[in-house]
Chains A and B, each alone.
Chain A
Amino acid sequence: MAETMNIVEEIRNRVILGEYNVKNNFRIDIVHLDESTMEFDMVGIDAAIANAFRRILLAEVPTMAIEKVFIYNNTSIVQDEVLAHRLGLVPIKADPRLFEYRSTGEASAEEEGSEIDTIQLQLKIKCSRNPRATKDSADPRELYLNHMVYSRDIKWVPIGNQADVFADSVIAPVHDDILIAQLRPGQELDVIMHCVKGIGQDHAKFSPVATASYRLLPDITLLEPVEGERAERLKRCFSRGVIDIQDVAGKKVAKVVDSRLDTCSREFLRHDDLKNAVKLARFRDHFIFTVESTGILPPDVLVTEAIKVLMVKCQRFLSELDSTDLE
């Protein structure tokens, strides 16, 4: 019983809110940021909340993706359903915050969808023989025209007032060079696609991140001075840049320079003389997040949206509590 109380006390005191609160110890350091990846440190928060952010980044930040594929003509070798599946996985560069969810329900299942919740795209391509090819060439790139269907062939068809709303930005797939299908002369593809807003929980095509992960900062401490040849071996046990050999009074001494670079392979445990010289642990409240976006939204916007999603969840239950209390 005392043990469980100790564990409970430890959970309560690990990251303290209130006076000495998250507000004082918490900080975010952005290490790397470009259009597609972001690496940042979140220090002073508990694993439960950091994991919640990671889960939301993967599964609950909405994006637009192709959901319905109306196939008017498909004489290619790729089956209808396989083609539709591939089209669904193509990331579409459209800001999901400007669109609404399509309302589910019996009545609206037959509706085509309106301009606030649907993007209409078209893929219409026909492969033909190249009249200017030399007679004995065997290269398909020379023999045929349009024999590879890339995502750049997907064209946006504005419906309603979308042409005015999105006048300065063109809605198209994020990447131009995703190969969708291959054709030969006489085969053609004529499909209309509807994009809707969804979340990764429903289907992985709606996930806005290539991946989002975190790791904890390793904590490497040398329990005893390691010198000479042992220091050299210790340096090789860790990733490059973690341990540095310094010259102290003529002797080579190992020193931990940057534990962040370590991948924690625990190689030093395999050496009998080194395994008691190092203590390897992790800082329990220092999370190194890596967010790789698929290109739909920049990674810093994704993190912002993920935090907002968690806030909206809390608010939803708070209003639910309030409404049941009033009854």
Chain B
Amino acid sequence: MAGEGEKKPVLEMVQADGADEGCVTFVLHNEDHTLGNSLRYMIMKTADVDFCGYTITHPSESKINFRIQTRGSIPATEPLRSGLNELSDVCQHVLNTFQVSLSITYEINCPVVVQHTSV
């Protein structure tokens, strides 16, 4: 639901001077705990991440500061990208499992449960 007229940044990167590419704070706009916590969880499972956390700077502003510090000189966008991909995969897996479970339920209760269009 970003505005069409002016280009609002959705993702920004803030890096401390002198530090290597491995320690970056990303600012994600229009996000809250929904994506922040689940993404933090996925990235924490990556082996080469030293630190991963997020804060909501002020509850009136809908943006989160997401910080990743990697071990070694791996650029911080790597674990972010892999975390997003993995979260997307988990969602896809959950969706597939749910659809399978639904179809089993409909088969068992076919005459009783209302047939509605499923996407």
Return B27 CB to nearest CB of chain A, in Å: 12
Contact check: which of A30, A33, A103, A305 meets B4 at CB < 8 Å? A103
Given contacts A12-B44, A103-B4, whether A298 and B116 have CB atoms under 8 Å apart is yes
User: Is A300 in the interface zone, CB < 8 Å from B?
Assistant: yes
- Please report whether the interface of chain A is mostly helix, strand, loop or mixed according to DSSP: helix
Per-residue interface assignment for chain A, residues 101 to 136, with 1 indicating a CB less than 8 Å from any chain B CB and 0 otherwise:
101111000000000000000000000000000000
Distance between Cα atoms of A28 and B93 in the complex (Å): 11
Given contacts A105-B4, A317-B10, whether A303 and B92 have CB atoms under 8 Å apart is no
Contact between B94 and A28, CB atoms less than 8 A apart: yes
| CB under 8 Å from chain A, chain B span 1-31 | 1, 3-5, 10-11, 13, 28, 31
Q: Please, which residues of chain A bring their CB within 8 A of the CB of B101?
A: 27-30, 40
Q: Which residue of A lies closest to B85 (CB)?
A: A318
Distance between Cα atoms of A13 and B4 in the complex (Å): 43
Given contacts A17-B86, A317-B10, A318-B85, whether A33 and B105 have CB atoms under 8 Å apart is yes
Given contacts A12-B44, A34-B113, A60-B34, whether A300 and B118 have CB atoms under 8 Å apart is yes
Q: Please, which residues of chain A bring their CB within 8 A of the CB of B5?
A: 105-106
Q: Please, which residues of chain B bring their CB within 8 A of the CB of A52?
A: 34-35, 37-38
User: Is A223 in the interface zone, CB < 8 Å from B?
Assistant: no
Distance between Cα atoms of A98 and B107 in the complex (Å): 28
Contact between B33 and A317, CB atoms less than 8 A apart: no
- Please report whether the interface of chain B is mostly helix, strand, loop or mixed according to DSSP: helix
Q: Please, which residues of chain A bring their CB within 8 A of the CB of B110?
A: none
Contact between A311 and B92, CB atoms less than 8 A apart: yes
Per-residue interface assignment for chain B, residues 36 to 59, with 1 indicating a CB less than 8 Å from any chain A CB and 0 otherwise:
011111001100000000000000
User: Is A56 in the interface zone, CB < 8 Å from B?
Assistant: yes
Q: Please, which residues of chain B bring their CB within 8 A of the CB of A104?
A: 3-4
Contact check: which of B10, B39, B44 meets A11 at CB < 8 Å? B44
| CB under 8 Å from chain B, chain A span 65-107 | 97, 101, 103-106
Distance between Cα atoms of A12 and B43 in the complex (Å): 10
Contact between A33 and B113, CB atoms less than 8 A apart: yes
A-B interface contact total, Cβ < 8 Å: 133
Distance between Cα atoms of A40 and B104 in the complex (Å): 13
Size of interface on A: residues with Cβ below 8 Å to B: 53
Return A303 CB to nearest CB of chain B, in Å: 6
Q: Please, which residues of chain A bring their CB within 8 A of the CB of B81?
A: 318, 321
Return B66 CB to nearest CB of chain A, in Å: 10
Contact between A321 and B11, CB atoms less than 8 A apart: yes
Q: Please, which residues of chain B bring their CB within 8 A of the CB of A11?
A: 41, 44-45
Q: Please, which residues of chain A bring their CB within 8 A of the CB of B92?
A: 311
Given contacts A12-B44, A26-B93, A307-B95, whether A317 and B28 have CB atoms under 8 Å apart is yes
Among B37, B90, B93, which residue has the most Cβ atoms of chain A within 10 A? B90
Contact check: which of A17, A26, A105 meets B94 at CB < 8 Å? A26
User: Is A310 in the interface zone, CB < 8 Å from B?
Assistant: yes
Distance between Cα atoms of A249 and B40 in the complex (Å): 54
Return A285 CB to nearest CB of chain B, in Å: 12
Q: Which residue of A lies closest to B1 (CB)?
A: A101
Q: Please, which residues of chain B bring their CB within 8 A of the CB of A17?
A: 45, 86, 90
Q: List 28 A-B contacts (CB under 8 A).
A: A12-B44, A17-B86, A22-B93, A26-B93, A26-B94, A28-B94, A29-B101, A30-B104, A33-B102, A33-B113, A45-B94, A48-B37, A48-B40, A49-B90, A52-B37, A104-B3, A105-B4, A300-B102, A301-B118, A301-B119, A307-B98, A310-B38, A317-B10, A317-B11, A318-B85, A321-B81, A321-B84, A324-B11
Seen from chain B, the residues whose Cβ lies within 8 Å of a Cβ on chain A are: 1, 3-5, 10-11, 13, 28, 31-35, 37-41, 44-45, 77, 80-81, 84-88, 90-95, 97-99, 101-102, 104-105, 109, 113-114, 116, 118-119
* Additional 9 contacts, C-beta under 8 A, given A12-B45, A316-B10: A51-B38, A56-B34, A298-B116, A308-B91, A310-B35, A314-B91, A317-B35, A318-B84, A321-B84
